[in-house]
Structure 1
Amino acid sequence: MTSLLRIENLSKRFGGLQAVADVSLAVTTGEICSVIGPNGAGKTTLFNMISGVLRPSGGRIVFDGTDMAAVSPSRFAAKGIGRTFQNLALFKHGTVVENILTGRHTHLRSNVLDAVIFFGRTRREEIEARQRVEEIIEFLEIEHIRDAIVGTLSYGQQKRVELARALACEPKLLLLDEMVSGMNQEETEDIARFVLDIREELGITVLMIEHEMRIVMDISDRVHVLNFGRKIAEGTPAEVRRDPAVAEAYLGGHRAEAAKVGA
């Protein structure tokens, strides 16, 4: 199988701070991969570069055969990279449907005149967008809140709406940043199931940052481990679980705690 995403010696510096240093990794089409590491390891900075939020200080990002250095950051989503954020980035005063519809903007081709007369291409795009949104709502089992104002929803429901909006972009690669952070056990299990379904039913490759090690070990094909901005380990969940460098990074080498990485 081919690599959908290839990162080569990627680095990011903020003044005197080296947030990411010489990181290389590949994500194969159809995989669920995780990036893990202690707080401050550089995981979100890495995601921000992959999604175009930040420009790298060095190295290359090659996505679906395209060197992304030549792509405008505003075009990353159109190229097929979808993203959720650790901190919710929703329109709190809009409805669930309205928020998900914003994810369709990369597929709109109508011009201002088309929009004014609302005919032809604009009308077709509107019908297609709303049909796709309804399919996503059904897929994520949020029919009962489709017309609710997002700001009135629980945290777990809002996270699901943000996932829906990312899916509305129809990404080839979905970046999930701490999707289950702050969720209870039932909500966490639901998200794990949805991630598997996103890969199996929608054919979308997934790269996720996650602190919940049970999810990482249960559903990941491969795991990449960062510490102080550098990659220190890579492998299957079982291989990473046994790696002493991973236990050292997370737990300072305390053997009694090491088992918790894969618990």
Structure 2
Amino acid sequence: MSRILELEGVSKRFGGLTAVNEVSLSVEEGQIYSLIGPNGAGKTTLFNLISAVLAPTSGRIVFDGRDITRMPTHALARLGIARTFQNLAVFKHETVVNNLLVGLHTHLGADPISAAFFWGRARREELKARERVEEIIDFLEIEDLRDHVVGTLSYGQQKRVELGRALAIGPRLLLLDEMVSGMNQEEREDIARFILDLKEELGMTVFMVEHDMGIVMDISDHVCVVNHGRKIADGTPAEVAADPAVIEAYLGTKQAA
């Protein structure tokens, strides 16, 4: 497998605070790669650096051999990087279908005249976009919700719509930020199944920040652990779970009886 994402000595400082401290990691194409760590460890900041919400203070971020360190977020979408957010980022007053269509905007390029009169390239793009939306609806098993206004759906259903909108970009790398946070057990299991299907059926690479250790250990190929802004361990789920530095970071140093 080839490396699709590489971080080389990436740091982020906010004044005198170092939130991410010289983190290096690599993600292989087709992997489910999880980033974990205690609260305040720097996970979200690192995730925001990868998705260009923040710019690194130092270091390099490389996607598929291309330096994306200073690229804007919209440019990453065109390269094939999509992201969901810990807090819902959906259009609650629009239908499920319209929310998914928004994710396809990076693939639309018809000129204004064609778009206005809905002919030629604009018509072909619209029909293709709607076909893609139907594929995503089928994949996420939300056929009965397609025409519902998103704000009327349950939290778990809204998260599924947000995932669908990210998939509409057609990403090679999907960034999932606390995807199952706030979901019930059944909803968590559904999302874990979808993530596995993305890897196994579509060959997609998934990079996720996640607190649910059950899901992390069940579906991840590789796990990276950060604490106080530094990487303290990485490896298979079993290797990471047995690492003394990880155990101490989560549980604290064992005290003598």
Q: Which moved more, 1:132-141 or 1:101-110?
A: 101-110
Q: CA RMSD in A?
A: 1.1
Quote the residue 2:243 is aligned against: 243
Of 231-240 and 36-45, deviating more is 36-45
- Partner Cα separation in structure 2 for residue 69 and residue 244 of structure 1: 33
Deviations 1:82-138 (A, max 9, x none): 100000011110111111111001111112222112211111111011100100000
Question: Equivalent residue for 2:188?
Answer: 188
Instruction: Indicate yes or no: 2:99 matched with 1:104.
Output: no
Q: Distance in 1 between matches of 2:72 and 2:152?
A: 35
**SS at 2:69's partner residue?**
helix
Higher helix share: 1
**Is the 1:51–1:77 contact (alpha carbons within 8 Å) kept by the matching residues of 2?**
no
Match of 2:165 in 1: 165
CA positional deviation for 1:66: 0.6
What amino acid is aligned across from residue 62 of structure 1 in structure 2? Answer: V
Contact 1:36 1:226 survives alignment (8 Å): yes
* C-alpha distance in structure 1 between counterparts of 2:181 and 2:111, whole Å: 40
Q: TM-score, normalised by structure 2?
A: 0.97
Q: What TM-score, normalized to structure 1?
A: 0.94
Quote the residue 1:83 is aligned against. 83
Are 1:126 and 2:126 an aligned pair?
Answer: yes
* Match runs of 1:14-33 below 5 Å: 14-33=14-33
Q: Counterparts of 1:209 and 1:156 in 2: how far apart (Å)? A: 18
Give the Cα separation in 2 of the matches to 1:15 and 1:142: 45
**Partners of 1:109 and 1:224 in 2: CA distance:** 38
Once the two structures are TM-superposed, the CA of residue 254 in structure 1 deviates from its matched residue by 4.4
Q: Which amino acid aligns with 2:5?
A: L
Gaps of 5+ in 1: 256-263
Aligned-partner SS, 2:24: strand
Q: Is the CA contact 1:5–1:61 (under 8 Å) kept in the aligned structure 2?
A: yes
Aligned to 2:139: 139
1:9 equivalent to 2:9? Answer yes
CA deviation after TM superposition for structure 1 residue 73, in Å: 3.0
Question: Which residue number in structure 1 is paired with residue 35 of structure 2?
Answer: 35
Report the count of equivalent residues. Answer: 255
Q: In 2, Cα distance between the equivalents of 1:194 and 1:3?
A: 23
How far is the alpha carbon of 1:70 from its aligned partner? 5.4
Tell me, in whole angstroms, the C-alpha distance in 2 between the residues paired with 1:206 and 1:127.
28
